[in-house]
Structure 1
Amino acid sequence: MQETSVAAADGPILAFDTPLAIVGGGAVDQALLVELDQRGVALVGADGGGDTIGAAGLVPKAIIGDLDSLVDRMAWERRTQVIHLPEQITTDFQKALYSTKAPVTLALGMTGKRLDHTLAALSAVLQYAPKRRLLLVDEVDVALAVVGPIVFGADQRERVSIHPLQPIRFERSHGLFYPMDGLTLEPGGLIGTSNEGVGGRVEILPSDRTPWLLILRRERLWDLIEASQSAAWA
């Protein structure tokens, strides 16, 4: 394979029909990477995230970024597509987002290790959530960026956290221990950490299409992928 050098993106370079996992250099469970690969999820490294995928014994479909963190760039060029985006206006996660297209996109290794990287990842999620279905995955949780209403199932007393990325008002909810009816959540104000399911169907209806995060334990990853695919946004 050869390197592709791009100064700026005019549109997606790579399009996937399957779910996509963009892998960064933060904390990543290698067993989860293997599971994703076995389930047919396309793996793409965001710069040094390519080495993270390699450490799990896997080969990414591509490596995208400014390539300042990739350990052995020439070796990877012989194994997969390496897309060099030298611009310094965006993060490697953003570069991977604007260079790809997929029905659902997971982001691993974008949180943990460095707080500034975590905050940058949240900023990217806010930017891209209206355009594509995004899930942030770490060692404990999975956070789905939601635009509009969503319906899913939750066990009794299961933790269901709702986090506002911007001020957002919720019209109503069903199936939560603490109802969301008429509440406005906002960073620096009221937030929805550690709500709980009452058992069964959960419905959350915001008043507009402001992006927000639905956070469940990581074991619910495939459930949230399914819920995101059945939702009406993007």
Structure 2
Amino acid sequence: MNHVIVSSFDPITLIGGGEIAINDLTDSLALAPILVACDGGAKAALDQNHEPIAVIGDMDSIDSATKDAIGADKLHVISEQESNDFEKALMHCEAPVILGVGFTGTRLDHELAAFGALLKFASKRIILIGKHDVVFLAPQQLELNLPIGSRFSLFPMGAVRGTSEGLCWPIDGLEFAPEGRLGTSNEVNGPVRLTFEALKMLVILPREALPEVMRALQT
């Protein structure tokens, strides 16, 4: 069993070493005030004048100056190579919701790996914050109140079916799969209610939807 390094009753912000747009970290910390860094994300945190309470990873992307600034007592080395640093942090953190900044953009392979981690840790509520979007794995039941006309995209990570209310193009009866039918570029036309048969559907929404997504995933 993986031991817990950070356990919080409040939401946690995880910071990685990928693209971090202006206000990504401040917006995340306003909703998830506990900051934990994934390896090289520690430098990104310090560069924005925020010190994480813990750094988790194999420490192959963190320089000595950052290690000294953080302090050895906050560095948690996980040396196994079967998981990436984002997964290592998810394995060792417990919180009602986890927000991730610095896991999208920059490198597509890292971004795809982060999407894969959402499925590996489907029991956790995780939201990735990008420059223009938020991405999360849909629970089997989801209700969202979003502005009429909002972009609403669904991307299946496996074969999955569901039902919908509040979308211009309903998904009832459709067979979704990554190599088949996708659900991108839909649009909100009322209160959104979704159900899914399995935890395999990513939801991609405009960045402005973050507070509502946080509310919905904690309900």
TM over 0.5: yes
In 1, are the aligned partners of 2:24 and 2:130 still within 8 Å (CA)?
A: no
1:191 aligns with 2:205: no
Correspondences of 1:67-146 after superposition (within 5 Å): 67-71=59-63, 72-78=65-71, 81-129=74-122, 131-146=123-138
- For the residues of structure 1 that align with 2:81 and 2:200, how far apart are their CA atoms? 26
Change (3 A) 1:194 1:226: same
Provide, for residues 93-114 of structure 1, a one-character-per-residue CA deviation record: whole Å limited to 9, x for no partner.
0100001100001111112111
Q: 1:40 offset after TM fit, Å?
A: 5.2
Q: Which amino acid in the other structure matches residue 57 of structure 2?
A: G
Q: 1:157 offset after TM fit, Å?
A: 1.7
* Equivalent of residue 19 in structure 1, options 11, 27, 35: 11
- For the residues of structure 1 that align with 2:114 and 2:99, how far apart are their CA atoms? 12
Provide, for residues 132-163 of structure 1, a one-character-per-residue CA deviation record: whole Å limited to 9, x for no partner.
10111110000121120101112222100011
Residue in 2 aligned with 1:205? 195
- For the residues of structure 1 that align with 2:129 and 2:60, how far apart are their CA atoms? 24
Secondary structure in 2 matching 1:205: strand
The two structures have a TM-score, normalised by structure 1, of: 0.88
Residue in 2 aligned with 1:176? 167
* Equivalent of residue 212 in structure 2, options 223, 227, 230: 223
- For the residues of structure 1 that align with 2:112 and 2:32, how far apart are their CA atoms? 29
Secondary structure in 2 matching 1:154: coil
In 2, are the aligned partners of 1:23 and 1:49 still within 8 Å (CA)?
A: yes
* Equivalent of residue 34 in structure 1, options 4, 26, 32: 26
Q: 1:195 offset after TM fit, Å?
A: 0.2
Change (3 A) 1:158 1:39: closer
- For the residues of structure 2 that align with 1:16 and 1:114, how far apart are their CA atoms? 30
1:148 aligns with 2:137: no
Secondary structure in 2 matching 1:168: coil
Q: 1:73 offset after TM fit, Å?
A: 4.6
- For the residues of structure 2 that align with 1:38 and 1:123, how far apart are their CA atoms? 26
Unaligned runs of 5+ in 1: 1-8
Change (3 A) 1:10 1:39: closer
Aligned sequence identity (%)? 34
- For the residues of structure 2 that align with 1:40 and 1:114, how far apart are their CA atoms? 25
Q: 1:37 offset after TM fit, Å?
A: 3.0
Unaligned runs of 5+ in 2: none
**The 10-residue stretch of structure 1 (45-54 or 12-21) with the greater mean CA deviation from structure 2:** 12-21
- For the residues of structure 2 that align with 1:40 and 1:65, how far apart are their CA atoms? 20
Q: 1:32 offset after TM fit, Å?
A: 2.8
In 2, are the aligned partners of 1:146 and 1:211 still within 8 Å (CA)?
A: yes
Aligned length: 218
Q: 1:175 offset after TM fit, Å?
A: 0.8
In 1, are the aligned partners of 2:155 and 2:203 still within 8 Å (CA)?
A: yes
